[in-house]
Structure 1
Amino acid sequence: MEFDMARLGGVFTALVTPFRGGAVDIEAFEALVERQMEAGVTGLVPLGTTGEAPTLSTAEAEDLIARTVRLSAGRAFVLAGVGTNDTARTVEKARRAEQLGADGCLVITPYYNRPTQEGLFGHFSTVAAVTGLPLMLYSVPARAGVEIAPETAARLEDRCQNIVAIKEAGGSAARVSTLRRRCQRLAIHCGDDGLTLAFLSLGAVGVTSVLSNYVPEAVCEMVAAWQRGDAPAALAWHDYLLPLAEAMFIETSPAPVKEALAIQGLASPELRLPLAPLTRESRARLRLELDRFAASAAPAALTKKPLSNRIPLALNG
């Protein structure tokens, strides 16, 4: 059956993995997923970079996929992160994600190895061959040391019908235009919150967002405004959210967004090594931005309903 590309549109949240006392905090994770559902996100991405996937055991990872599938109950597209720097392990993870009920897989470029474009082509095409799930390629050179060339993306979409999208996180809006020229059908997702509106204006269909962990309703409002053709409203939301989006990356993600969630009382700021907690200076800078954001007026006149109970306005602690 042909895949419905419309399912890739909108806001996909790159879910954090909450920890408490060294273990996955299941209660907090389930509450965060439900909060995303209530906000109206169209996709959930467990086990991505934001979810600290490389630090999770196989049992933990599989449990989080299964829980996300169960909790979403078809209300959102579940895009499970399965990428590693070992093709054989990635194949195993993709097969298991399909067995667990995921709707698709997010496959990052192999990190550390720094493969050539031919190596990338072999890696992604091998993974695509072992699963019937739709795949989203993930190009993030700042983390992986290599990016997917537009020519390689075009080869992959030509060879593999279930490679349907690419998450572009190279920090360049110009790449959207290049990818659209080279590729006939790949849906493009923005992987940088501060560039979401720019990407959408150039033809991207959605965003895989870190920021939506913290303010899912607001990110959804911005994307929805663009989708309904209200560019002024989308720009107002962009201006409102941009300083907050930038604050989420004052240190390596997901440390800032976990700190922000902790301030909301939604999850612990705990990370797993080799990630470390925010420095005192960064914590103070983040808190300053969160306070500024909480005190600022949302573009409420542009929304379908008031946001007073949907965006955190009181930061305690």
Structure 2
Amino acid sequence: MDSYDLDRFRGVFTALVTPFKSGAIDHASFDALVERQLAAGIAGLVPVGTTGEAASLSDAEADDLIRRTARSAAGRAFVVAGAGSNSSASTVDKVRRAEAAGADALLVVTPYYNKPTQAGLLRHYAMVAEATALPIMLYSVPGRCGIEIAAETCAILRERHGNIVAIKEAGGSVDRVTRIRRLCGTDFVIHSGDDALTIPFLSTGAVGVTSVVSNIAPVEMVAMVRAWHDGDWRGALALHDQIAELTDSMFLEANPGPVKAALAFAGLAGSEVRAPMAEMDPGNLQRLAEIIDRFRQNGNLFQEMR
């Protein structure tokens, strides 16, 4: 692990949406969204993850998005490409393709649907780690995958594989941060996988967040996490409170429906999603529109959207 600069994982990483237009990727909107993130001072970009509808992308589309992100972010932000699936062989292929496309690191979700045991996860991640020299961020999200990476399993993986250096923890439990740190050591990187839990996670030892809401509010998320790292806890909490309603609204329905709708309301990208996802329920859409409108008019928030 000493050969990796783990400070590169510090801060806000945006789980990028993939804009579509008439079924195809809207490259112009994607590039503009990436540039907006970089201008806001985002530390990292995560293309082709859950928020990017990775499961609905072809390999060629995923490669292109990673390549475009890496090209735009070069020297400006760390690129952690999504590279997981529910097949170990397919995951290894995705890992190699992401590395070839220019990713700086890899985000590898637990296999979904299969529900492997912890022994199965050890086998899966060993295959992944041996396929690449890039640093790997584990991704535990039991709400989507049906399984959790046990803290003990994290510790074994960290010990056996020098390039497994981090975890995106999206199980909703702050207690998990302490347990993972205790078993894996304080130099094992932890990211919050839930925007609403960013401050609680940072307070117990996480160093960053892989964020959905930063697609729409990158300036505010960067300011909040920087304030925390700078010791301005009151300022960080004030920003947390200011964006709490917006953060909650990103999950009125399954991600990325709401964040894509929010970007459309802001005139930043279209709201189109790929099947099996569907456009938001009209009632939820109206509620989201009202929230976005309030934030547009609220103090210094969303100044670049006015």
TM-score between both structures, scaled by the size of structure 1? 0.94
Q: Distance in 2 between matches of 1:308 and 1:66?
A: 29
1:84-233 correspondence runs (5 A):
84-184=85-185, 185-233=187-235
Secondary structure, aligned partner of 2:94: helix
| CA deviation map 1:136-194 (0-9, x unaligned) | 00000000000100000000000000001000001111111111111123200000000
> Are positions 1:74 and 2:75 aligned together?
yes
Q: Distance in 2 between matches of 1:250 and 1:289?
A: 12
Q: Distance in 1 between matches of 2:179 and 2:302?
A: 40
RMSD of the alignment, in Å?
Answer: 1.1
Secondary structure, aligned partner of 1:78: strand
Q: Distance in 2 between matches of 1:243 and 1:260?
A: 13
| CA deviation map 1:96-131 (0-9, x unaligned) | 111111100000000000000100111011100110
* Corresponding position of 1:63: 64
Q: Distance in 2 between matches of 1:139 and 1:72?
A: 26
Secondary structure, aligned partner of 1:13: strand
> Are positions 1:309 and 2:300 aligned together?
no
> Are positions 1:246 and 2:248 aligned together?
yes
Secondary structure, aligned partner of 1:3: coil
Shift of 1:295: 2.6
Q: Distance in 1 between matches of 2:18 and 2:229?
A: 30
Verify the 8 A CA contact 2:47 2:81 in the aligned structure 1. Answer: yes
1:275-290 correspondence runs (5 A):
275-290=277-292
| CA deviation map 1:280-299 (0-9, x unaligned) | 0110111121122223224x
Flag the 1:308–1:163 CA change in 2: closer, same or farther, 3 A. Answer: closer
Q: Aligned AA for 2:71? A: R
Q: Distance in 2 between matches of 1:78 and 1:173?
A: 26
> Are positions 1:25 and 2:26 aligned together?
yes
Verify the 8 A CA contact 2:295 2:302 in the aligned structure 1. Answer: no
* Corresponding position of 2:238: 236
Q: Distance in 1 between matches of 2:134 and 2:211?
A: 22
Q: Distance in 2 between matches of 1:171 and 1:177?
A: 13
% identity of equivalent residues: 57
* Corresponding position of 1:303: none
Flag the 1:308–1:140 CA change in 2: closer, same or farther, 3 A. Answer: closer
Q: Distance in 2 between matches of 1:74 and 1:57?
A: 28
Secondary structure, aligned partner of 1:60: helix
Shift of 1:308: 6.6
Query: How many residues align structurally?
Result: 304
Q: Distance in 2 between matches of 1:116 and 1:194?
A: 29
Secondary structure, aligned partner of 1:252: coil
* Corresponding position of 2:273: 271
Secondary structure, aligned partner of 2:14: strand
Unaligned runs of 5+ in 1: 299-306
